[in-house]
């Protein structure tokens, strides 16, 4: 078994058994900052090597996924799940956006198997973070309301995740390769170790959601598993249509399957305050993140493999 | 130490979600708070355990020392704008200060 997955299981078990273990918030912050920067840097360095012609179609297709996913999720949650409008909109926004942690695990999974992927995927990761937030806000309040769009824009574009990802991309893209060598030990060589600590903490956080999981019941669990499965098919098909490699197709599936827990919760808390954050975080962290990390990633690889073989 | 009337001020303490920090400090400046102190906090309440494991589970404690009028104005504003949708506790207490000129609006 992959050790980083075992770190996640350790965190999950420690949390469920109510162990005294907790990481200081500063550690969580530091580790997630490193992950975001590493992913950005890696993308930037690769983009430097080849001119990014033809990026427009994949950026556009990714934007479309970001708009489509919440529009599929919202009626399911609102009508079928009978969630209040604000709650349904907020959960839908989480599922339209993307989880950097899940992406990092998928990248590590591919690296272990020495499978390559398109260099611009980190850019698509950034692109997919954003549209669902806007769709979520519009679903919750409609267009004509008193939403302060300048506040929303600030929250969306200057949130920690976006700043670090885009910052890393730009630094990687603008730096000369010799200079980058010097910082590689921290950002590249230690990537998996950092990811392991991050997953330990994610296990603890996911376990802390167990209580609310019981309270909100079966529909949320079913949704938290079904939505990523649907997303993975949408993502993988898009990747294939864009002519991506198997690795790239699999990462597109991961992007569309994952649910946000950094950018979207922060934006929703401010823009749609009446939505209950426990619901969306329970779904995205308590169900979908563990599902994707433990079951989803190998499954999405098989999906990518299947699509490339049969189509 | 005997305290003159002029040395009495209100201490306004707000415990709320860390997500609100930027908005809250902007409001405080607008409402004439002479200053504020923010500390990280954790605990348990109506909205469950807030253990500060990561940003969405974090609380802050904001303290403002000011005159009665400003304190009430701030308290009223926070009640109107945040009580419905956010985890928030607000208390007012009397304190005595040594340099009253610091705590005027």
pLDDT of residue B46: 76
pLDDT higher than 80, residue A53? no
pLDDT for res B3:
55
Q: Which residues of B touch A273 (CB under 8 A)?
A: 84-86
Query: Whose CA is closest to A236, among A220, A247, A225?
Result: A247
Enumerate the β-bridge partners of residue B63.
B13, B37
CB atoms within 10 A of CB B80: 9
Chain A residues whose C-beta is within 8 A of a chain B C-beta are 22-23, 25, 28-29, 201, 204-205, 208, 211-212, 261-262, 265-266, 269-270, 273-274, 277-278, 281
Q: How far is CA A13 from CA A10, A17, A22, A246, B16, in A?
A: 5, 6, 13, 33, 30
**Distance between A243 CA and the closest CA of chain B, angstroms:** 38
**What are the residue ranges in chain B where pLDDT is below 70?**
1-5, 52-53, 105
Question: In terms of CA atoms, which chain B residue is nearest residue A277?
Answer: B56
Inter-chain CB pairs, A–B, below 8 Å: 46
Residue A69: is its pLDDT beyond 80? yes
Q: For chain A, give the mean pLDDT.
A: 91
Q: Could you give the 3-state DSSP secondary structure of residue A268?
A: helix
> What is the DSSP secondary-structure string of B46-85?
TTEEE--SSGGG-EEEEEEEE-HHHHHHHHHHHHHHHTTT
Q: What is the complex's ipTM, to 2 decimals?
A: 0.78
C-beta separation of B51 from B42 below 8 A: yes
pLDDT tens profile A134-152: 999 999 987 766 677 887 7
What is the CB neighbour count within 10 angstroms for residue A2? 16
Residues 6+ apart with CB under 8 A from A278: A212, A216, B47, B48
The arithmetic mean of pLDDT across residues A179-197, rounded, is 92
CB A219 within 8 A of CB A88: no
CA A254/CA A64 separation, integer angstroms: 16
> Which chain A residue lies closest to B47 (C-alpha atoms)?
A278
> Given pLDDT bands bounded at 50, 70 and 90, which one contains residue A88?
very high
CB-CB contact of A69 with A234 (8 Å): yes
Q: Can you give the pTM of this predicted structure? A: 0.88
Question: Which pLDDT belongs to residue B103?
Answer: 82
Instruction: Give me the pLDDT at residue B5, please.
Output: 62
Q: Is B39 on the interface with A (CB under 8 A)?
A: no
Q: At what angle do helices A100-112 and A3-16 cross, to 10 degrees?
A: 140
Place of tokens 């200081």: A24
Q: HSE-up of A179 (CA within 13 Å, CB side)? A: 8
Helix (H) / strand (E) element for B16: namely strand B8-17
Q: pLDDT for B81-105, tens place per residue?
A: 999 999 999 999 999 988 888 887 6
Say which of A204, A211, A266 has its CB closest to residue B53: A204
């Amino acid at each position: 078994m992959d050790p980083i997955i075992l770190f996640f299981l350790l965190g999950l078990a420690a949390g469920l058994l109510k162990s005294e273990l907790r990481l200081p918030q500063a550690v969580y912050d530091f580790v997630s900052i490193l992950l975001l920067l590493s992913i950005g840097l890696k993308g930037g360095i690769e983009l430097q090597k080849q001119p990014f012609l033809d990026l427009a179609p994949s950026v556009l297709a990714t934007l479309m996924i970001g708009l489509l996913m919440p529009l599929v999720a919202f009626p399911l949650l609102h009508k079928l799940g009978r969630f209040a409008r604000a709650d349904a909109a907020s959960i839908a926004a989480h599922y339209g956006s993307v989880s950097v942690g899940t992406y990092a695990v998928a990248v590590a999974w591919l690296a272990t198997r020495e499978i390559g992927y398109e260099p611009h995927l980190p850019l698509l990761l950034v692109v997919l973070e954003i549209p669902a937030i806007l769709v979520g806000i519009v679903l919750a309040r409609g267009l004509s309301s008193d939403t302060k769009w300048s506040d929303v824009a600030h929250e969306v574009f200057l949130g920690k995740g976006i700043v670090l990802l885009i910052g890393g991309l730009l630094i990687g893209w603008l730096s000369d390769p010799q200079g980058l060598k010097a910082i590689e030990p921290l950002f590249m060589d230690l990537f998996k170790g950092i990811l392991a600590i991050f997953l330990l903490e994610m296990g603890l956080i996911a376990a802390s959601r167990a209580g609310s999981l019981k309270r909100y019941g079966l529909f949320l669990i079913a949704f938290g598993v079904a939505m990523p499965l649907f997303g993975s098919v949408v993502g993988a098909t898009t990747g294939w249509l864009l002519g991506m490699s198997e690795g790239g197709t699999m990462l597109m599936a991961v992007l569309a399957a994952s649910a946000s827990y950094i950018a979207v919760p922060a934006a929703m808390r401010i823009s749609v305050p009446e939505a209950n954050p426990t619901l969306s975080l329970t779904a995205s962290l308590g169900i979908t993140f563990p599902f994707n990390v433990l079951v989803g990633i190998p499954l999405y690889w098989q999906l990518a493999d299947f699509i490339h073989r049969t189509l | 130490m005997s305290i003159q009337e002029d040395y009495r001020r209100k201490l306004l303490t707000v415990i709320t979600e860390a997500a609100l920090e930027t908005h809250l400090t902007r409001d405080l400046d607008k409402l004439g708070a002479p200053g504020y102190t923010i500390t990280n906090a954790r605990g348990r309440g109506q909205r469950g355990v807030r253990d500060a494991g990561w940003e969405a589970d974090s609380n802050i404690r904001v303290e403002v020392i000011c005159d009665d009028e400003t304190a009430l104005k701030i308290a009223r504003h926070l009640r109107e704008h945040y009580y419905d949708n956010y985890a928030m506790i607000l208390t007012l207490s009397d304190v005595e200060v040594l340099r009253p000129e610091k705590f005027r609006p």
